[in-house]
């Protein structure tokens, strides 16, 4: 089996450089794949009432003191200062303090809750050089970083919706086997024991309500609250840790968050930190390793290849390419001087699911020979566009 790094090279997706360890340079094919995956997640979040936001990557160090990250997480963060000043900043390792600042801008009633924000947050974590591994372990990556601000009475329902959404998304990619673990209070933790027990019990009840079996990981929770971790099992039995939801009753206290309850009194909300992919880069790495590069057609960066038989058909081939691109279909073009066999082989190496062979007969008749694996079919241009758009809209 090939590694995700070997497949990324073969499919021309991304590469790394010594000048930026733990970070990726995305090529056009890879970035198109990244955006397709991102857009699928965006649609799923919106279906559950989330609003997308964008927050800064660089924020003052004092913010991370308030959040507790300076006490619990500073060794994993990057810091810097102003060129002509004494103000210190940190690159965010996660987006939660920024989303909390957005919540604090307004006065909230129980009628406003749950308030759901999500962001494709570009984050930085100071991982050791020895732990870096392609796109599975990076220093810079993109989280589907979502936060729900809600009352205690709403937590169980929101955790249940997270489990539903995660199962839906994983099923879209063909993953069926799901392992769920609940991580409980660690040795270094914020907050009192009673709140931790209450939160842990709610997570267990939510899993039971969704008929999701789970194991307990004692002492493995985040420093601010217990969490559920989701892991996928692939066809050869490998386990991949992906999604997580963390129940947080500590940051609302540290940031003095409030909402007016039904009695008109100030009450502290709960924050649910959640991510389904965990990291889009890591998700792509897992997808490559599991599929061995045979990507789902609805996210494929180049779902169709156009192969010209000779130069006499180039005008027609370019016309077809332009029409497909106008329809939002990304195209791989094999119009060079190589033999048809070599062009087809190159398309197979790129794992392109649909190969269109264009010869003089096809150009004159307006018919196209489409090859899908071993299956070959003759269709016209309108049928091709309809077929490809249907494949793109499967999810």
DSSP states of 300-347: -S--EEEEESSGGGHHHHHHHHHHHHHTT--EEEE-SSS-HHHHHHHH
* Residue 315 in tokens: 């005008």
Q: Alpha-carbon distance 319 to 188, whole Å?
A: 64
Q: For 11-43, how does the pLDDT look when each residue is reduced to its tens digit (9 = 90+)?
A: 999 999 999 999 999 999 999 999 999 999 999
- pTM of the full predicted structure? 0.92
Q: For 92-119, how does the pLDDT look when each residue is reduced to its tens digit (9 = 90+)?
A: 999 999 999 999 999 999 999 999 999 9
Whether residue 321 lies in the annotated active site: no
pLDDT level of residue 91 (50, 70, 90 thresholds): very high
Of 92, 99, 124, 125, which is the active-site residue?
125
Q: For 265-310, how does the pLDDT look when each residue is reduced to its tens digit (9 = 90+)?
A: 999 999 999 999 999 999 999 999 999 999 999 999 999 999 998 8
**Which domains does the chain carry?**
4-291 (3.30.930.10), 304-392 (3.40.50.800)
Whether residue 273 lies in the annotated active site: yes
* Residue 257 in tokens: 């968050």
Of 137, 145, 300, 371, which is the active-site residue?
145
Of 139, 273, 282, 371, which is the active-site residue?
273
Question: How much of the chain, in percent, has pLDDT values that exceed 90?
Answer: 74
Of 116, 147, 165, 321, which is the active-site residue?
147
pLDDT at 295: 95
Q: For 322-343, how does the pLDDT look when each residue is reduced to its tens digit (9 = 90+)?
A: 999 998 899 999 898 888 889 9
Q: Alpha-carbon distance 148 to 99, whole Å?
A: 10
Task: Name 306's bridge partners.
Answer: 333, 356
Q: Alpha-carbon distance 212 to 214, whole Å?
A: 6
- Does the pLDDT at position 394 exceed 70? no
Whether residue 105 lies in the annotated active site: no
Mean pLDDT of the chain: 92
Contacts of 349 (CB under 8 A, 6+ apart): 10
pLDDT at 379: 87
Higher pLDDT, 179 or 361: 179
Q: List the single range of 101-105, 125-129, 342-346, 358-362 with lowest mean pLDDT.
A: 358-362
Residue pair 331/304 in contact (Cβ under 8 Å)? The answer is: yes
- Does the pLDDT at position 393 exceed 80? no
- Does the pLDDT at position 234 exceed 80? no
Of 44, 135, 143, 302, which is the active-site residue?
143
Q: Alpha-carbon distance 266 to 64, whole Å?
A: 25
Residue pair 90/78 in contact (Cβ under 8 Å)? The answer is: yes
């Amino acid at each position: 089996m090939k590694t995700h790094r070997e497949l990324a090279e073969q499919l021309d997706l991304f590469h790394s450089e010594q000048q930026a360890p733990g970070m990726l340079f995305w090529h056009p094919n890879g970035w198109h794949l990244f955006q397709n995956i991102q857009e699928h997640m965006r649609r799923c979040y919106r279906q559950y009432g989330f609003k997308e936001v964008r927050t800064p990557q660089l924020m003052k160090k004092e913010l991370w003191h308030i959040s507790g990250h300076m006490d619990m997480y500073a060794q994993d963060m990057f810091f810097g200062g102003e060129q002509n000043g004494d103000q210190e900043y940190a690159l965010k390792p996660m987006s939660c303090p920024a989303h909390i600042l957005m919540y604090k801008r307004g006065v909230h009633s129980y009628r406003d809750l749950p308030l759901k924000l999500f962001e494709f947050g570009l984050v930085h974590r100071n991982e050791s050089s020895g732990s870096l591994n392609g796109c599975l372990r990076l220093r810079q990556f993109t989280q589907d970083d979502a936060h729900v601000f809600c009352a205690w009475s709403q937590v169980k329902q929101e955790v249940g919706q997270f489990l539903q959404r995660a199962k839906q998304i994983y099923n879209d990619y063909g993953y069926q086997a799901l392992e769920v673990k609940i991580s409980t209070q660690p040795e270094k933790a914020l907050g009192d024991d009673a709140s931790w027990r209450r939160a842990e019990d709610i997570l267990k009840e939510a899993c039971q309500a969704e008929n999701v079996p789970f194991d307990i990981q004692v002492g493995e929770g985040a420093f601010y609250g217990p969490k559920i971790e989701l892991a996928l099992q692939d066809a050869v039995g490998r386990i991949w840790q992906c999604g997580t939801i963390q129940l947080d009753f500590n940051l609302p206290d540290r940031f003095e968050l409030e909402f007016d309850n039904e009695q008109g009194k100030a009450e502290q909300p709960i924050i649910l930190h959640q991510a389904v992919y965990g990291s889009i880069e890591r998700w792509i790495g897992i997808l490559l390793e599991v599929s061995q590069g045979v990507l789902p057609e609805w996210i494929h960066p180049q779902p169709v290849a156009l192969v010209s038989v000779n130069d006499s058909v180039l005008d027609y081939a370019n016309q077809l390419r332009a029409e497909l691109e106008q329809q939002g279909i990304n195209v791989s073009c094999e119009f060079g001087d190589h033999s048809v066999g070599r062009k087809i082989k190159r398309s197979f190496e790129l794992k392109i699911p649909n190969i269109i062979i264009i010869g003089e007969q096809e150009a004159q008749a307006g018919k196209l020979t489409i090859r899908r694996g071993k299956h070959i079919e003759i269709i016209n241009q309108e049928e091709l566009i309809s077929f490809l758009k249907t494949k793109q809209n499967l999810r």
